[in-house]
Amino acid sequence: MWAAIIGLLGLLTLMVVNLVAVLQKPSDEEQIRIALEEMRQASLEGRTGGVLQYISDSIELPSLSPEQELYASSAKSQIARFLRQAKIMRLEFKDVSIRVEGSTAFVECAIEADLSYPALGELSPRFPRVVMEFRREEGKRLLVIPDPVWRVVRFQPIQLSDIRGLPWIGG
């Protein structure tokens, strides 16, 4: 009997701690800045899961040709495959601007990286202007406590002709 009471008190304490953690989350903009930094760190450390936790299952990447779309796997699995094979030495988000509109947020920034990829060798891509769209998606803590999470749903370089460091785009 005492074991059941102690177990219930422990479970109740765990739920209260998690509920308080959800209620004391930082502002939406700060949560997005934290997500960007955690994705950056995970990329540098080779932790694919640390990036994918912030990528929506419904992410959209720049359009593929109709022929490529026929044979392409999901965008999220393409990102996972790239992250597993790439060695990212440097990744910087510069001039980050965040605009939150309800459950959608737009991050505009420049991205610079140094990486190596088996099929392409060493690359230093520079994206002078990128827009990432984040959406607040419902998550759960302890299977019952609602815990909204900001996830990337769209990644769009604005000016492909300005991308530097990618051999097939003019770099």
**H or E segment to which residue 11 belongs:** helix 2-23
24 burial type by CB count under 10 A (0-12 exposed, 13-18 middle, 19+ buried): exposed
pLDDT digits (tens, 9 = 90+) for 47-74: 999 999 999 988 887 765 555 555 567 8
Domain assignment present for 126: yes
Among 3-12, 84-93, 104-113, 116-125, which stretch is predicted with the lowest mean pLDDT? Answer: 3-12
Residue 170 forms part of a structural domain: no
Q: List the end-to-end C-alpha distance of the chain, in Å, as a whole number.
A: 71
Number of structural domains the chain divides into: 1
CATH number of the domain encompassing residue 33: 3.10.450.50
Is there a domain that residue 11 lies in? Answer: no
In a domain, 4, yes or no: no
Does residue 46 lie within any of the structural domains? Answer: yes
Q: Give residue-wise pLDDT tens across range 89-116.
A: 999 999 999 999 999 999 999 999 999 9
Hunting for tokens 């509109």 — which residue is that?
Answer: 101
Domain of residue 88, residue span = 28-162
Is 90 inside any structural domain? yes
